[in-house]
Amino acid sequence: MEANGQADGGQATPCLLRQGQRGQRVVSANGNVLRSEIVGSIKMRVFLSGMPELRLGLNDKVLFDNTGRGKSKSVELEDVKFHQCVRLSRFENDRTISFIPPDGEFELMSYRLNTHVKPLIWIESVIEKHSHSRIEYMIKAKSQFKRRSTANNVEIHIPVPNDADSPKFKTTVGSVKWVPENSEIVWSIKSFPGGKEYLMRAHFGLPSVEAEDKEGKPPISVKFEIPYFTTSGIQVRYLKIIEKSGYQALPWVRYITQNGGTCDLPVGQITSSGRSEGPR
């Protein structure tokens, strides 16, 4: 456990707590998962009069390193780091996250856990190359979360050959743009509901297919946010304000799930990656 940051005084307003999680999944060209993990953090914005003590509780599913308890239905956090305001001695003793917060915004804690990251947006790609003439892409995106959730600001980055030209696009939703300086096309979908599937087709002129094959292909990547959703199941159970004089303030918890990471994409193979943040 580590601590860093600085402390300060405050004035009376509510406190906001934000839990963010980013799933990272890397898949090799033959379909093997090379890395699958979730990187999370809990950030706070606090303006409280005086110096009240706060206590944060996570749901019973969460375990920290070296707890010595059974792990069959639990999630063990690794690489846990705390802000310097957290009383580490108490945490080491009974796993209570107790602290007197600094004034303003700060990151209370960060963590990592190695676990299977479900691909929240699944990408299927079919690429057809026509020697010395053109290349065609068929990209299918499918959301694999419940219908009551929605992924916002979805961006699917598809690499294309460096010398591709004369782009033509057709999509059932969103917009597509060619970014020649990055040798990629970006398919943007503002709102992607759960349980939906969308299709995009792209066509490029291509004078030198063989040369591009020798250079290799970077991976497709997907970026998005899902409000009110946690990939790992880790949630804040309570945030208590401890003050002898009976301090009254309403703590608000915001969860967001974001996508991160990439996956190698051989021609015609189904792959994907995603990032998630909890409720907000």
N residues, the chain: 280
Q: Does residue 246 or residue 223 have the better pLDDT?
A: 223
Question: Hey, how many other C-beta atoms are within 10 angstroms of the C-beta on 116?
Answer: 11
Tell me whether strands 121-130 and 134-143 are parallel, antiparallel or unpaired. Answer: antiparallel
Nearest Cα residue to 224 out of 124, 113, 149: 149
How many domains in the chain? Answer: 2
- Do 51 and 128 lie in a common domain? no
Domain that holds residue 104: 3-117+227-266
Whether residue 272 is contained in a domain is answered as: no
Whether residue 271 is contained in a domain is answered as: no
The string of DSSP letters for 140-188 reads EEEE-S-TT-EEEEEEEEEE--TT-EEEEEEESSSEEEEEGGGTEEEEE
Residues β-bridged to residue 139:
125, 200
Residue 61 has pLDDT above 60, yes or no: no
The residue-averaged pLDDT of 237-255 equals 64
Beta carbons within 8 Å of 70's beta carbon, 6+ residues apart: none
pLDDT, tens only, 32-41 = 666 777 888 8
Whether residue 276 is contained in a domain is answered as: no
pLDDT band at 70 (very low <50, low <70, confident <90, very high): very low
pTM of the model: 0.65
- Do 91 and 9 lie in a common domain? yes
pLDDT, tens only, 4-60 = 333 334 344 457 878 777 776 666 555 566 677 788 888 998 877 778 889 888 875
CATH of the domain at 157: 2.60.40.1170
